Every structure is written in structure tokens, then in C-alpha cells.
Amino acid sequence: MQMIESGNVAAALGVKLSRAQVIAAYPITPQTPLTEKLSEFIEAGDMSAEYIPVESEHSALAVCIASSSAGARSFTATSANGLLYMHEQIHWASGARLPIVMCVVNRGVGAPWTVWNDHQDSMSQRDTGWIQIYANDHQQIIDAVIKAYALAEEVMIPVMVCYDGYLLSHTYMPFDIPDVSLADSFLPPYKPAYCLDPGEPANLNTVTLPDVRDDINGNRAHGYFEIRHLLQQDMIASMDALERIDSRFKTVFGRGGNPFIESYRTDDAEFIAVGIGSLSYHLRDVVDNLRDEGISVGGMSIQLYRPFPYSAVAEALKGCRGIIVFEKALSYGYQGPVCSDIKSALYQHGRQNSHRPFVLNYILGLGGREIVTKDLYDALKLSCTTGPDAPDELRWIGLKI
């Protein structure tokens, strides 16, 4: 069924179709319409789930950690400082290997306060052991939520579904709502290998030691080090899992096929502009304009940011002369995180092919600073024409200093 609604409602419909059983949330702009909609579904009897209006984001994820440990499909959503207030719990959820799904409605981080969009909130949670998926439009939001549960429950790693505050969360777009019975067949009820049960007592997340240790029957158990190694192994393996899940989704619903990156007019492109979320679609207009002028440029978005699809990224950028990364986040004191990751992915690839494209990094849109198409056009055109000789420095678009 087609619908014209906001990105937050698309997310809420995805959660409803996923039949989340426990939902805990604390209000923060611009996430609120998503969780309000879920509370409405539940109060109206359209959705069977426990909605828990907690007193903080820290507790929102605490609820989900416990409910997931007790075998329930669990959901929360937040933005910006709410996400940061969860930080301890974010690590805890992945360390405990719980298949929680959380929508992050991307917003800039204080101080000073800003309520508008950038990617600093979720980017700063890059190293927490969560899978991070970024949606570019409303259809991708609703689809990503459903796929996220399938992925999380297969690899037992929590998933963040990130999308731009306001630009996607509060704008209205048409999207298709997956059929309920098809969604049910795509995503069967969650069946944990173990969940808290008085009939089968276990002490979860207990104190571990630096080294391995035998249990009372003499069987070797993992130490902290092994547990962390397995998380990394499973994160890497989750790329294969996502590819399979995305392919299955495409078979059932007819959409998908780009689980890692989305490329636009890159086949013969000499230059590729990279962005995340709605910005990547914004860049497509600019790519079209420059193509009309005869500049061989394409666009690419990163759909899966953690685990970082290094092979897919390197493959997609193979043979181009220059890469221009536009970012709404910054690792202060260095550069944009996506730029660093792309350079890292290219390093190994470039060594094999004795090929090193130039990489330029633009910072833009922090705290909701308007991203003007003309500015994108100018920056990308300049980069394509002078890129190889441009100094390796961070560039800011729209700065009024």
C-alpha cells in the first residue's frame, strides 16, 4: 500500500510491521513523532506491545537490554544528546549481544544546543559494536527497520537505523508499506537461543577475567578478550548476513539490492562524490548538472557504515581519479570519519592496483546549516577540476567567518 507520510511515521510503521514486543522511549526532538505514533498504535489496539514511557534515555535502553535478555523483540529511538546519554548502555547492549533495533533520528549535539540535523550523534557512536545503517529516504527507513530486526536476530548484534532529523523525519514522501503477511513471513517471531528463565538459570554479563577460565565441569570458557574478538568476527560476518537478508527482501518485496552502498552514475565516473543520508540524494542533482556540462562525475552513498563495507567501497571507487567526501560529522582534530574510513579502505586496494585517487573532504550542514545546491555544485566542480593539486586540508561549505 502506498502512503504519503513523514519519515518518522515510516519508521513507526516499520516497527509495527516488525511486531516489536517491548518499546521504551524518552522524548527528544526530532525523534518524538516516531515514538508518539507507536504509543498511538498501541493505545488504539492496532499493535500488541508493551510501551514503557521511561524517565531517561539511559533507562530506555536499560529496558530494552532487559526485555531483549528476557526474549522479547525490543525497540527504542532517540536523537543527539539522548543517544549520548545512552552511551554506556549502547556498549552494554552490543557486549551482551542483544538484537535490539534503535532508530537514531540524526541531530547535532550540544553544547551549544542545536535541534537541527547533522550526523555527529550517531557517528560518535561508531565504535560501540552496533551495526549502523543509514537511510536515504522514507522507503529506505521503513524497509531498513524490518531488515534490521532480521539482521540483528541472525547475528545477535544490535542495529541502529539512522536517518536525518527534519530532512527525512519531518518531511512527507510517498512510500510503500510492506504487506503484513509478507512482512510476517519475512520476519518470523524472535526465538532467542537463550533468554532469562527461572527454569534454566544463568548469570548474564557477569564479571569476566583477563584470561580464559574453566567452568565447574572443566570446560574452557571465554575471557573478555575472546568475547571481544568474537564480536569483531561476527560484525565482519554480518556483512554477508545483510547481503543475504537484503536479497531475500528484494525477492519478497521487490526493493533493495544495495545493502552496502548506493552508486549513481558511477560506471564511467572519473570523480565520485560521497555522502550519507538525504545529502547523497541532494548530491545526485549536482551530479546531473555536472554531467550535463561534460564532467565525468558520479555519486555514492554509504548505506552500511558499521561494519564498514571496505571491499564494496574500494570496488566501487576502483579506477576513479578523485573522491570527494561530503560530511555532516567531524572527528575534531582530524577530518570527517567517513573520509578517514574511505582512505583506509582504499589503502589496501590502492596498494594492489598501484592506484591512489585524491580524496577531498568537505564539512557541511553541522547544526542544520542550510546546504545550498549551488554551494555543492561549486565545491564539486572545483574539486573535479583542481582536485589532484588541491592541498590536503579540510574544507567547509557555507562557513560565514
Partner 1 sequence: MHTKTTILTLPEDELVYPGNRACAGCALGIAYRIGLKALGKNTIIVVPPSCLTVLQGLYPIAATKLPSLNVTFASTAAAATGLLGALKARNKKGINVVGWAGDGGTSDIGLQSLSGACERGDNFLFVCYDNEGYMNTGVQRSGTTPLGALTANTPIKGKLQHKKDVPAIMNAHRIPYVATCSAAYPLDLYDKIKKALTFEGVKYIHIHTPCPPGWGFDPRYAVKVGKLAVETGLYELYEVENSHVRLTGASKKLMEKRKLLPVKDYFRAQSRFAILSDNQIEQQQKEVNERWKDYFEILDDSDEETAD
> Contact positions toward partner 1, by CB under 8 A?
21-22, 24, 48-50, 52-56, 58-60, 62-72, 74, 88-89, 92, 195-198, 200-209, 213-216, 221
Nearer to partner 1, 100 or 364 (CB): 100
Q: Are 298 and 265 in contact (CB under 8 A)?
A: yes
Nearer to partner 1, 74 or 280 (CB): 74
Distance in angstroms (rounded) separating the CA atoms of residues 213 and 219: 8
Nearer to partner 1, 111 or 216 (CB): 216
Nearer to partner 1, 74 or 117 (CB): 74
DSSP assignment, residue 16? H
Per the rule left: phi > 0, alpha: psi between -120 and 50, beta: everything else, 184 is alpha
For residue 371, give the nearest of 301, 278, 298, 290 by alpha carbon.
278
The H-assigned helical ranges of 214-257 are 224-253
CA angle at 342 for the pair 271 and 235, rounded to the nearest 5°: 140
- Least Cβ distance, residue 96 to partner 1 (angstroms): 9
- Beta strand ranges found along 303-392 (DSSP E): 304-306, 322-327, 358-363
For residue 361, give the nearest of 401, 316, 400, 393 by alpha carbon.
393
Strands 74-78 and 101-106: parallel
Helix (H) or strand (E) run with residue 164 in it: strand 159-164
Q: DSSP letters of 48-91? A: --EEEE-SSHHHHHHHHHHHHHTT--EEEEE-HHHHHHTHHHHH
The DSSP bridge partners found for residue 274 are: 300, 325
What's the alpha-carbon Rg for the chain, to the nearest Å?
A: 21
- Least Cβ distance, residue 169 to partner 1 (angstroms): 25
Residue 163 corresponds to which cell in the numbers above?
Answer: 536517518
Nearer to partner 1, 2 or 217 (CB): 217
Nearer to partner 1, 84 or 390 (CB): 84
- Least Cβ distance, residue 210 to partner 1 (angstroms): 11
- Least Cβ distance, residue 232 to partner 1 (angstroms): 19
- Least Cβ distance, residue 80 to partner 1 (angstroms): 20
- Least Cβ distance, residue 26 to partner 1 (angstroms): 10
- Least Cβ distance, residue 89 to partner 1 (angstroms): 6
Nearer to partner 1, 222 or 351 (CB): 222
- Least Cβ distance, residue 156 to partner 1 (angstroms): 16
Residue 83 corresponds to which cell in the numbers above?
Answer: 543517544
- Least Cβ distance, residue 148 to partner 1 (angstroms): 19
Strands 159-164 and 101-106: parallel
Amino acid occupying residue 134: Y
Nearer to partner 1, 158 or 337 (CB): 158
Distance in angstroms (rounded) separating the CA atoms of residues 11 and 345: 31
* Total count of residues recorded for the chain: 401
Nearer to partner 1, 88 or 288 (CB): 88
